[in-house]
Amino acid sequence: MNKFFSVTVLASVSLFAFSSPAKDSDSKRKLFRYDFADFGVGTVENEKGPTGVTVFTFSETSVAAVDIRGGAAAVRESSSLDELSTWPMGDAIVLAGGSTYGLEAASGVMSRLLEVRGKKTDFMNIPQVPAAIVYDFRNRKDAAVYPDKELGRKGYDAVKTNQVWVGQAGAGRNVTVGKYFGSAFGEVSGQGAAFIEKNGVKIFALTVLNAVGNILDLKGNIIAGNRDPKTGNRRLIADQLLEKSKTPSVEEKGNTTISIVITNVKMSHADIRRIGVMTHTAMGRVIDPFQTPGDGDTLFSVSTQTLERPKDTDIGDLGTMAARAMQLAVQSAIESSR
């Protein structure tokens, strides 16, 4: 392993070194380990749905931003992360299934924070808990089940450092990709993660992948989505539209990819927002099409503010590395769900 540059990810890229993820008894999820203790993350599921929640917790020194690109986004408390906010940070960030009903899970995290803080209600103890959701009501055992306040509380209590379940776990418990021409063409997806470290700079990326588009590897090959149920062949969606061999399905609605990228480098709110924009834009290389009218694509970017930015590393460098981490996290969501 190059002692200056390592990548931990559940995708196969020969240039880098990898961890060996622990397998759960359920082979469709794996425990992903990394070395970045500045934040915590917890995943919980309700198998009655099935559906789930992924909860991130941060210190009060963290700075956060949000980039909303999809045409059907549902986000809670995004104003807290706006450039005009006096305190652009999040005590916790919640990713959940259940469509807009799932935003209730953030209230459960709020109530646990109230208890953890000794029920203090002075201004600076009121938590900020932004959240985003995916539509995961397809292929449900019980369509009415969604991540509620209680599941949010359990998600907070499940928070640990340096590990997270990926695959069909947390908010990625019941998601699919490549459904542009209907659910029959879709394939199972999940929650994916990747980690990069270089000269003390740490970048963690996680995505809940419920895209209407196909998933591509870094060479442009389709690894999931738009799989013909009769032949098993996968094709680029644009090719079939241009050939007029297929038309979009009415089922195209109800898709979303929600993501988070975290670094330890100290920076301004404008800079962490720029890293989020670069990362979100780069996801379009591995999700095709991306940010459609039927997607609610949202990405949170966070700096834990614990490392001075190295003199030989600028914001563009950090954004480029974060973008690569997220592209690998997208691949991880597919590979760890199979």
- pLDDT tens digits, 297-306: 999 999 999 9
Q: Choose among 150, 189, 203: nearest CA to 39.
A: 203
CA 336-70-222 angle, to 5 degrees, is: 40
Q: Which domains does the chain have, with CATH numbers?
A: 5-335 (3.60.70.12)
Q: What is the mean pLDDT of the chain?
A: 90
8 A C-beta contact, residue 225 and residue 178? yes
* Beta bridge partners of residue 44, listed in sequence order: 53
Those residues whose C-beta lies under 8 Å from the C-beta of residue 239, and which sit 6 or more positions away, are none
- Give the C-alpha separation, 209 to 188, whole Å: 10
Q: What is the pLDDT of residue 258?
A: 98
Q: Could you tell me whether strands 5-9 and 191-198 are parallel, antiparallel, or unpaired per DSSP bridges?
A: antiparallel
Q: What is the pLDDT of residue 17?
A: 28
Q: Is 100 an annotated catalytic residue?
A: no
User: 88 pLDDT band (50/70/90 cuts)?
Assistant: confident
- Give the C-alpha separation, 210 to 178, whole Å: 9
Q: What is the pLDDT of residue 21?
A: 44
User: 219 pLDDT band (50/70/90 cuts)?
Assistant: very high
- Give the C-alpha separation, 135 to 318, whole Å: 31
Q: What is the pLDDT of residue 14?
A: 28
**What average pLDDT does this structure show over 289-303?**
94
User: 65 pLDDT band (50/70/90 cuts)?
Assistant: very high
Those residues whose C-beta lies under 8 Å from the C-beta of residue 20, and which sit 6 or more positions away, are none
Q: What is the pLDDT of residue 115?
A: 96
Q: What is the pTM of this model?
A: 0.92
* 109: enclosing H helix or E strand: helix 105-116
**What average pLDDT does this structure show over 217-240?**
94
pLDDT tens profile 108-147:
999 999 999 999 999 888 999 999 999 999 888 778 999 9
Which of 96-105, 170-179, 245-254, 297-306 has the lowest average pLDDT? 245-254
User: 3 pLDDT band (50/70/90 cuts)?
Assistant: very low
8 A C-beta contact, residue 8 and residue 195? yes
Q: What is the pLDDT of residue 87?
A: 84
For the cut 60, the answer to whether the pLDDT of residue 5 exceeds it is: no
Which of 50-54, 140-144, 147-151, 286-290 has the lowest average pLDDT? 140-144
Q: What is the pLDDT of residue 12?
A: 32
Side-chain half-sphere CA neighbours of 213 within 13 A: 24
- Give the C-alpha separation, 311 to 242, whole Å: 48
Q: What is the pLDDT of residue 250?
A: 52
- Give the C-alpha separation, 148 to 103, whole Å: 8
Q: What is the pLDDT of residue 130?
A: 96
Those residues whose C-beta lies under 8 Å from the C-beta of residue 18, and which sit 6 or more positions away, are 7, 8, 9, 10
User: Of 8, 207, 256, 257, which is the active-site residue?
Assistant: 256
For the cut 90, the answer to whether the pLDDT of residue 84 exceeds it is: no
